[in-house]
Structure 1
């Protein structure tokens, strides 16, 4: 009796963990409720278009394109306009020799005007800067990294939707089995009541079967609540509004028939998107190291400017006449000595590259370990699933024979209750084993890199 309740409690816990397994995203309730009739592939396609984590990942990819444009913009001409206005409240005083008298005497004089102003425009063009050119290359690698991160998010979304979809199908199958059991037990209860009314059966037989019937009624209601929550989790993983109606077009048997032994010999760990992401991270670190090494190179910039200077002893005279000025030139900056800072910076970057290469080697071993573990779990769950399926079929036959004997007066009500209890235990074990087999197959496909970002 308790096996079904334990199974439902485990399922609820598993769904709660699944519910919080992905980044939180709000539900869109501004649209009117819609009615959907989806297969698993339809659910995945819907999630690929609406899942908020994926929408943000696509925006991140767009941001990476803007980063490339930003780096290219650094190599284009830059034009600045500067203006100034100065009110010399008290002009600076200088001492000059008295050329008309005693040269040893100093005469205080003031140069300049009380008001000065200027307006200049200047065009700057980078001719050579290693940081700019390497930054452009690094931004393209960053764009590649954001694309791969989008693929990873799409794969994670596909896995989360698939797992939630399987939970719904198993919850529906649970209700179907419980409902069938309820109908069988209801028939037995009615027949026993009829026999009791004519004095063939005892009251204790009626009460025993009534207890079992009450229990299974409660289990059906609990399973229905679990199904409702399973649908909610699936909608959450898809970023579908909770008010929308969702109906699944497939049954759990459609996927149970696809369970088979998987070849884990011919897989390639390089198929995992995480491996490709780590390779790109190494490329970024190597570009950073190259940038540090090229820090000793000079930077060369050209400029041309043109503008006007204005002077006046009174403010109303300031802009009556302007004096043009223009210049063209180049600036060369050559970092001759920066202490030991550059040496330590290069060493840090070199160590970072070595660490990222070690991470790639560790990731390779980790993928191999994940495949072995996932394959072991899948084989064990497959074996358990096939055994529990046979046990359920055997217990179903036992229950039907005991029920027939009870109707013939050969078996007791205790025999019926015992057979019914064993049948429910085997049915619960079967459903658990089926769900575990389906979920472990998903994990194995993920470990082997067989789940791609394509719909």
Structure 2
């Protein structure tokens, strides 16, 4: 009675629990990013990006492969059954006192059921599987780590690109506002006969060009948002908004340029080291293949014999057997020797891969650091140019209003200001991206960043 109540309680609770879990998963997958910071966007990507999810699934698949390979150490139990009808029974001739007599052997109907357990005690493949299991787990985890690091870098760059484009759009809007005022002022002066129509026409051309720039920037931002959503595995029809703290990001731009590359920090280098360990175990396996295979077995048989099929299973004649097997491969046409030599050569090849990736890491670090230092200088120069361009524009604007400077001078200073502002944003994005490249080259990027 108690058992029935427990089962009934489980059946009542399970659907509610399952629905709660399913609802929680759906809520997580459909979560909207509103005013999201970079850390929130990355955290979302590390959970929802298909590539990251596939890496985690690959880890689970790898774990199943390992357990499947190691299952050979457990007893392998099999059952079999058969039925035979002897169309022509075997006959034996017995000779007694010079007289021969025939004797029919067996029965018309035979049947047997067999239950057998096999246990391996020494097997080269199972030894290799046991020793290689931790390296395969390590390899799957490193592949996931590599995927996550690439996700952090890719998402961060796309995030910076979107927010840089948004800031550029703000600058274009500010420029349009200035040009609209200048256009109205030039038109009023032209209508009052103070200037010719050249200033008015130039203002109109500049305003039209800026509006075209705005349209182009707005369309590009749509694509950049779509690309960012693709990178993080965000629902295609769901809106996303980002939070850009310019002061905080500018404070985090600087890094220690005296750091040097450490090969062990790079997951790509550690992956090759893991592959080398696995290849070394493969070489050992080819040596172990010269050893014999030893296994044991035990079985129990239910045997049924009768000439009449209806009475076949009335009586059982059981039998049982225990034994050991030794399988010694003596000569296989030098196959094992060739496989051993091949594996040793593959080990040498991985050693060269390690040398090669060290050179690549060093080159990548030097390139990333050189780009970062150059871009850092460009960023500082661009910031100074923005301040100077603003002063020049304000001065010339006052002089133009007083009739000292021409409208062409005003337009030139306005163009210089906009160019300086856009250059500053472009160098800021390039600097943030190059900083990521340096961190990736150093191997200091973690999923917690």
Q: Specify if TM > 0.5.
A: yes
Any conservation in 2 of the 1:39–1:249 contact (CA below 8 Å)?
A: yes
**RMSD of the alignment, in Å?**
2.4
How big is each residue's C-alpha offset from its partner over 1:388-431, in whole Å with a ceiling of 9 and x where there is no partner?
33333333333332322222222222223333333333333333
Give the 5 Å matches for 1:373-384: 373-384=367-378
Question: Secondary structure, in 3 states, of the residue corresponding to 1:339?
Answer: coil
Deviation at 1:319, TM superposition (A): 1.8
Which residue in the other structure is 2:230 paired with? Answer: 236
Question: Secondary structure, in 3 states, of the residue corresponding to 1:245?
Answer: coil
Give the 5 Å matches for 1:45-444: 45-88=43-86, 90-91=87-88, 96=93, 111-260=105-254, 262-444=256-438
Separation of aligned partners in 1, 2:178 and 2:409: 15
Any conservation in 2 of the 1:309–1:324 contact (CA below 8 Å)?
A: yes
The number of equivalent residue pairs is 424
Separation of aligned partners in 2, 1:320 and 1:413: 117
TM-score by length of 2: 0.87
Q: 1:334 to 1:35 in 2, by over 3 A?
A: closer
Separation of aligned partners in 1, 2:420 and 2:244: 24
Separation of aligned partners in 2, 1:31 and 1:257: 33
Any conservation in 2 of the 1:171–1:227 contact (CA below 8 Å)?
A: yes
Any conservation in 2 of the 1:170–1:252 contact (CA below 8 Å)?
A: no
Deviation at 1:365, TM superposition (A): 1.6
How big is each residue's C-alpha offset from its partner over 1:226-271, in whole Å with a ceiling of 9 and x where there is no partner?
2222222222211121333322222344323432353244441211
Range with bigger deviation, 337-346 or 248-257: 248-257
Separation of aligned partners in 1, 2:164 and 2:62: 42
Any conservation in 2 of the 1:148–1:273 contact (CA below 8 Å)?
A: yes
Separation of aligned partners in 1, 2:185 and 2:115: 102
Any conservation in 2 of the 1:168–1:227 contact (CA below 8 Å)?
A: yes
How big is each residue's C-alpha offset from its partner over 1:166-200, in whole Å with a ceiling of 9 and x where there is no partner?
00110111011111111111111112222222221
Separation of aligned partners in 2, 1:319 and 1:398: 110
Any conservation in 2 of the 1:71–1:132 contact (CA below 8 Å)?
A: yes
Question: Secondary structure, in 3 states, of the residue corresponding to 2:219?
Answer: helix
Separation of aligned partners in 2, 1:152 and 1:32: 26
Question: Secondary structure, in 3 states, of the residue corresponding to 2:343?
Answer: helix
Q: 1:164 to 1:231 in 2, by over 3 A?
A: same
Question: Secondary structure, in 3 states, of the residue corresponding to 1:323?
Answer: coil
Any conservation in 1 of the 2:169–2:217 contact (CA below 8 Å)?
A: yes
Which stretches in structure 2 are left out of the alignment for 5+ residues? 1-25
Separation of aligned partners in 2, 1:315 and 1:407: 120
Which stretches in structure 1 are left out of the alignment for 5+ residues? 1-27
Any conservation in 1 of the 2:109–2:312 contact (CA below 8 Å)?
A: yes
TM-score by length of 1: 0.86
Deviation at 1:450, TM superposition (A): 1.2
Deviation at 1:280, TM superposition (A): 0.8
Deviation at 1:353, TM superposition (A): 1.1
Deviation at 1:290, TM superposition (A): 0.5
How big is each residue's C-alpha offset from its partner over 1:195-226, in whole Å with a ceiling of 9 and x where there is no partner?
22222122221111011011111212221222
Any conservation in 2 of the 1:87–1:115 contact (CA below 8 Å)?
A: yes
Any conservation in 1 of the 2:279–2:343 contact (CA below 8 Å)?
A: yes
Question: Secondary structure, in 3 states, of the residue corresponding to 1:227?
Answer: helix
Any conservation in 2 of the 1:79–1:122 contact (CA below 8 Å)?
A: yes
Deviation at 1:83, TM superposition (A): 0.6
Separation of aligned partners in 1, 2:311 and 2:258: 89
Separation of aligned partners in 2, 1:118 and 1:77: 22
Separation of aligned partners in 2, 1:374 and 1:31: 36
Deviation at 1:373, TM superposition (A): 1.0
Range with bigger deviation, 156-165 or 402-411: 402-411
